[in-house]
């Protein structure tokens, strides 16, 4: 039954990704952090356009809701054949296999609809060596539509990808058992005015599922989750009053379908003001009330009070016992900070205050350079769940993005980079490093720099995340993994057009992961890929060649793999 459910999930997510490329479902405007119980965006700002900005959906203020003047679409389906040679350089075997892949990449833009999707199915067929035949699904989609122009939008997104298990969001090779992750969400956003008062509301329904072929025998088995989140706010920008104000509220609930039935709820209500002090600078402050709570089913225990372990190595839950409260924080929240917009191409926000029972600091920075370069950075502090984090990542994805696939596995790269707005985008590695059912407090920072010039295009980024997991204070739960972990990743990609028909690309990454207590051990992954392509036959036929070198060093695996590929792709339209 479990294997049948996995097949149904894969087919459902594949169907969702394909439908997303050609259907009109909409975009938008949760708070920029994407977390429903975070503060609503403060109405108004330090410049004269603050009041009109408040009326726009959030994605419009990010420059992503501008509709093109004429409809256009670009959808390409392809079939790809490749021969792969892979060698384990640490004394392992060398094997060869063939890969057959089919996929579709598409983008549709009209006055009311923007949609982009990329989906790929790959079948690897063994020739020689001890490697089983395998199937790989990967894809990402983002679609939005104006249901009522200037007032109501509808948004949806989907993701299918793989990781290598705990600590290995990057560097998955075809030698590895993998953890397959699927996520999909949809929901409406309202952004309108009642007289001078801006009215905003948003709802998101998300589903996340995990097929963990790389299961390590621990108790915290993540199966799937359903996430609901809703926000609403009213406010006015500076003008009628010498300050702007916003009153907002929100609620989030996440239910995980694993054996321990993890539940998380977060609710907030708060008010914020923004006071312009110059044409480019404003001060902001807010105060409110917040309640966060998570719980789970207790362990089954024998006559001696020791946890019962099943024949599969998993801890056994006992639904008849009272639920265990793992996280319970409520009380006053407050913070203050600044908004600085020296030019339309630059914005800095920073806040510090009291939340989650302690001090919290958050901020964002974005800057667009004049010659097609852009940079974004963020400092974050939030309480989240794995499913909620992925839904927020998808919601913050621009509707026009570029992705870099691994030529050997077809897997998505670390980040989806904004195509029309250099420096924008969304990275997923931090979210995929640690797949756990329970909620956690996550603090960290990220930066993304991308752009193009002449025949060159590039993207560079880094991210750090520290997670502290909500777990019962009982040594019996130590088998569920560390109480906290941290991860750090850097990546870079560079591409150059050699001619109208040929391209050369190089991408590299490095990732470090550790947990405390040292349940899984530290994991280090480093890798790089060099690829070349050339088109023939009216750009329908494409020659593909690639070389890759990947190294993983951890307590459960120590591997260095060199891989080469040569193949052909035919594009149908």
Round to whole Å and give the CA distance between 122 and 134: 8
Round to whole Å and give the CA distance between 219 and 515: 16
Of 237, 240, 241, 268, nearest to 252 (Cα)?
268
Listing DSSP states for 132-143 in one string gives --EEEEEEEEEE
Of 375, 371, 361, 364, nearest to 341 (Cα)?
364
- Buried residues in 121-142 as b, exposed as e (16+ CB within 10 A): bbebeeeebebeebebbbbbbb
Round to whole Å and give the CA distance between 409 and 178: 12
Q: What is residue 14's predicted lDDT score, i.e. its pLDDT? A: 42
Which residues have C-beta within 8 Å of that of residue 4, sequence separation ≥ 6?
none
**Would you tell me which CATH number, out of the four given (2.60.40, 2.40.170, 1.10.10, 3.40.50), belongs to the domain 2-103+128-473+480-571?**
2.40.170
Instruction: Tell how far CA 532 is from the center of its chain.
Output: 28
Q: What is residue 151's predicted lDDT score, i.e. its pLDDT? A: 92
Q: What is residue 346's predicted lDDT score, i.e. its pLDDT? A: 93
All residue ranges of the chain with pLDDT < 70 are 1-71, 129-132, 213-221, 479, 517-520
**Alpha-carbon torsion, ordered 511, 516, 521, 526, to 10 deg:** 10
Q: What is residue 399's predicted lDDT score, i.e. its pLDDT? A: 78
Q: Are strands 72-88 and 152-163 parallel, antiparallel or unpaired?
A: unpaired
The full set of domain ranges for the chain reads 2-103+128-473+480-571
Instruction: Tell how far CA 538 is from the center of its chain.
Output: 36
**Alpha-carbon torsion, ordered 91, 493, 208, 390, to 10 deg:** 130
pTM equals 0.84
Q: Are strands 484-497 and 425-427 parallel, antiparallel or unpaired?
A: unpaired
Q: What is residue 47's predicted lDDT score, i.e. its pLDDT? A: 38
| Count of helix runs (H) and strand runs (E) in the chain | 5, 25
Omega before 517 cis (within 30°)?
A: yes
- Buried residues in 393-412 as b, exposed as e (16+ CB within 10 A): bbbbbbbbbbbbbbbbbbbb
Q: What is residue 5's predicted lDDT score, i.e. its pLDDT? A: 42
């Amino acid at each position: 039954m479990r294997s049948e459910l996995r097949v149904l999930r894969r087919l459902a997510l594949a169907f969702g990704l394909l439908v997303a490329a050609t259907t009109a479902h909409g975009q938008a405007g949760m708070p920029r952090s994407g977390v429903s119980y975070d503060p609503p965006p403060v109405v108004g700002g330090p410049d004269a356009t603050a009041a009109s900005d408040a009326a726009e959906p959030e994605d419009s203020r990010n420059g992503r809701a501008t509709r093109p003047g004429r409809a256009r679409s670009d959808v390409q389906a392809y079939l790809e054949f490749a021969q792969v040679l892979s060698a384990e350089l640490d004394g392992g075997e060398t094997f060869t296999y063939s890969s057959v892949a089919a996929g579709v990449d598409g983008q549709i833009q009209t006055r009311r609809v923007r949609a982009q999707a990329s989906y790929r199915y790959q079948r690897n067929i063994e020739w020689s060596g001890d490697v089983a035949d395998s199937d790989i699904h990967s894809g990402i989609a983002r679609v939005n539509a104006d249901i009522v122009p200037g007032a109501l939008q509808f948004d949806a997104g989907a993701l299918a990808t793989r990781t290598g298990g705990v600590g290995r969001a990057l560097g998955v090779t075809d030698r590895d058992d993998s953890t397959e992750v699927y996520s999909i969400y949809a929901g409406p956003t309202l952004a309108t005015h009642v007289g001078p008062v801006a009215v905003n509301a948003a709802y998101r329904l998300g589903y996340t599922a995990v097929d963990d072929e790389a299961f390590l025998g621990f108790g915290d088995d993540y199966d799937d989750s359903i996430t609901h989140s809703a926000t609403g706010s009213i406010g006015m920008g500076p003008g009628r009053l010498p300050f702007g104000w916003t009153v907002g509220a929100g609620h989030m609930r996440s239910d995980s379908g694993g054996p321990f039935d993890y539940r998380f709820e977060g609710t907030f209500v708060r008010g914020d003001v923004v006071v312009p002090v110059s044409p480019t600078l404003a001060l902001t402050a807010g105060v409110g009330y917040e309640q966060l709570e998570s719980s789970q089913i207790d362990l089954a225990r024998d006559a001696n009070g020791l946890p019962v372990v099943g024949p599969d190595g998993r801890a056994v839950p006992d639904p008849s016992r009272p639920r265990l409260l793992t996280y319970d924080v409520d009380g006053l929240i407050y913070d203050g900070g600044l908004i600085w917009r020296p030019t339309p191409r630059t914005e800095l926000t920073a806040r510090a205050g009291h939340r989650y029972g302690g001090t919290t600091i958050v901020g964002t920075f974005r800057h667009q350079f004049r010659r097609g370069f852009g940079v974004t950075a963020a400092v974050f502090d939030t309480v989240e769940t794995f499913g909620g984090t992925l839904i927020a990542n998808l919601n913050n994805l621009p509707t026009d993005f570029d992705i870099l696939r691994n030529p050997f596995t077809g897997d998505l790269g670390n980040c989806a980079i904004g195509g029309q707005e250099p420096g924008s985008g969304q990275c997923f590695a931090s979210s995929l490093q640690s797949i756990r059912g329970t909620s956690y407090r996550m603090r960290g920072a990220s930066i993304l720099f991308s752009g193009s010039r002449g025949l060159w295009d590039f993207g560079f980024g880094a991210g750090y995340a520290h997670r502290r997991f909500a777990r019962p204070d009982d040594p019996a739960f130590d088998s569920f993994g560390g109480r906290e972990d941290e991860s750090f990743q850097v990546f870079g990609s560079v591409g150059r057009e050699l001619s109208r028909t040929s391209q050369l690309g190089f991408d590299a990454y490095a990732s470090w992961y550790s947990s405390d207590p040292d349940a899984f051990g530290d994991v280090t992954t480093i890798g790089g890929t060099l690829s070349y392509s050339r088109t023939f036959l009216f750009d329908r036929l494409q020659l593909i060649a690639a070389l890759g070198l990947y190294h993983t060093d951890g307590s459960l695996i120590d591997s260095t793999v060199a891989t080469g590929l040569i193949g052909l792709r035919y594009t149908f339209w």
